[in-house]
Amino acid sequence: MEKNTALIPSDTTADSFAMHIEALRKMDISDRAQMMFELSDNLRSIVESGIRRRHPDYSAEEIQRAALGLTIDRALFNDAFGGGEVPA
């Protein structure tokens, strides 16, 4: 198998990256799904924290809307919320 070194983070050795990939491959599907959901939740929390820091006056609903505006297609967002810009 050919290794693509472009995928290896700059702070990671090729050997440790290979070990990481092997560990991921050994995980069963439910463990991988659980990890994916946790990563998704963590990312959403980070995005919302950034919005909250930039816009301390936003309500919880405005924070969720701004986060959604960053993650979905602009046309879909406008269709769902009737347009209007929510700075994120």
Residue 31 has what pLDDT? 96
Residue 25 has what pLDDT? 94
Residue 33 has what pLDDT? 96
Residue 7: CB atoms within 10 A of its CB come to: 9
Residue 6 has what pLDDT? 79
13-29 per-position pLDDT tens digit: 999 999 999 999 999 99
Residue 7 has what pLDDT? 86
Q: What is the pTM of this model?
A: 0.71
61-73 per-position pLDDT tens digit: 999 999 999 988 8
CA 88 – CA 86 distance, rounded (Å): 6
